[in-house]
Amino acid sequence: MIIHWFRRDLRLSDNPALSAAALASGGHVLPVYILDPTLLNGLWASPARSAFLIAGLRALDAQLQHHGLRLIVRHGEPVATLLHLVAETGASAVTWNRDYSPYSRRRDQAIEAALHAAGCAVQHTHDVAICPPDQILTKNATPYSVYTPYARQWRTWLAHADLRPVAAPILQPCRDLPVSHAIPDLLAPHPLPPAGELAAQTILDEFTRTSLRTYATQRDLPAVPGTSRLSPYLRFGMIAVRQCLAVAQAHPGPGADTWIAELAWRDFYIQVLFHHPHVLRGAFKPQYDDLAWENDPDLFAAWCAGHTGYPMVDAAMRQLQQEGWMHNRARMIVASFLTKDLLIDWRWGERYFMQMLLDGDPAANNGGWQWAASTGTDAQPYFRIFNPTCQGQKFDPHGDYIRRYLPELAGVPNHKIHTPHLLSASEQMRAGVRIGHDYPAPLVDHAQRRERALGIYRR
């Protein structure tokens, strides 16, 4: 028997380590997932993401039952838990698909050493990204810190890479399962999308049929269903990122090409974290660790609650609260607002996003926040500061996104939906909203804060 340790690969199809385990054992695979308290209860613990994970485990267990198997779920420290399972089952080997975060790499090195010391073989394979993070280097054998040349080399690498899906695993029923295989219950703080591989496949099919062709032109419009919404499924490996690439390549055009570029961004941020783990503690460019953030806790609380008085910002933050997800354009807007209008350390926002997002991923989340704060690789130049009102007018011109998440502004006419504080008293009455009571006036003056931010960054 071989144990396959599921981690960020909660699927049966195109799962390299699982297929390798099935091939090596003649199908005698024990499927295991370990609920790691370091991840579940740490600084970035997320009730919503944990509930989505649990739902994904239940979906995976249902798939395995069709093969006469159950998913063995244990709660505990991974080294001790795996050693106990090996002793309990007599497994000859453990397989897993690699992860590349600093914690994952430290954990896996310790586990591999402990299993070898116990006489148990180990096999781990690449899966979580399209391109392994150590494959693409500059001519000086250093990692890329700018996306465009990285993406150029990434596409060259793709042309020669073998990304064909691995064969589906042939699994044998197991009658002697360890006694404990129950998946715990976990209440979600808000409604969740359906979890699991079958749900991910359905969403990918729908996106391919309806939105992939127009992705290049509609992906920045948060009121339009123009994105894939697959990020939570990619986060947990409920779908293989290679399959997403293959689908895009099979439907050539501007939409597919733009979506492939987004998959390249995902790989880019994974390799940044792989080569520069310090970015989880501070700025990629260390000089920006000295920025004189003001860090007003009341302003931060208003930002979290979606009570800033800037409708585009507030709608995005309410979407995050209600769905555990936020449109990518909206993520850029709220991150710029937090760092450059409210002058709050990007790490506060990074941590809050990780606590709220179903797709919260250390590499992508850190990369996005450092881009917005102008502290990271290939970052937005510090003097380019999003105007939250103009961003809303450009990307949600009729206020459909705003009205969806800010129902108190439902009656505001289009020409004032992005500036409701400019409504006269009679206009407020007709719109059914009182500024300062039903909806706040702007917390800060954007023009003044922009100049203040520029001064802080220049210094």
Residues annotated in a binding site for FAD: 215, 227-231, 259, 262-269, 359-361
For 230, residues 6+ apart whose C-beta sits below 8 A from its C-beta are 200, 203, 204, 207, 239, 244
Token pair 């008293």: residue? 425
Nearest to 356 by CA among 37, 52, 36: 52
H-helix or E-strand spanning residue 94: strand 93-97
Residue stretches of the annotated binding site: 215, 227-231, 259, 262-269, 359-361
Instruction: Look up 293 and say whether it is catalytic.
Output: yes
Catalytic residue, candidates 5, 96, 154, 265: 265
Instruction: Look up 369 and say whether it is catalytic.
Output: yes
Instruction: Look up 44 and say whether it is catalytic.
Output: no
Cα gap 397→222, rounded to integer Å: 11
Instruction: Look up 265 and say whether it is catalytic.
Output: yes
Nearest to 65 by CA among 196, 217, 229: 196
Give residue 12's Cα distance to chain centre: 21
Nearest to 274 by CA among 110, 141, 143, 140: 143
Instruction: Look up 157 and say whether it is catalytic.
Output: no
Cα gap 97→105, rounded to integer Å: 12
Catalytic residue, candidates 157, 206, 328, 427: 328
> Contact 336/426 with Cβ under 8 angstroms?
no
Instruction: Locate all alpha helices (DSSP H) within 94-183, ordered by sequence.
Output: 102-117, 147-160
> Contact 5/34 with Cβ under 8 angstroms?
yes
Catalytic residue, candidates 96, 325, 346, 348: 346
Q: Token pair for residue 28?
A: 């005698």
Token pair 């990122």: residue? 241
Q: Which residues have a catalytic role annotated?
A: 262, 265, 293, 328, 346, 369
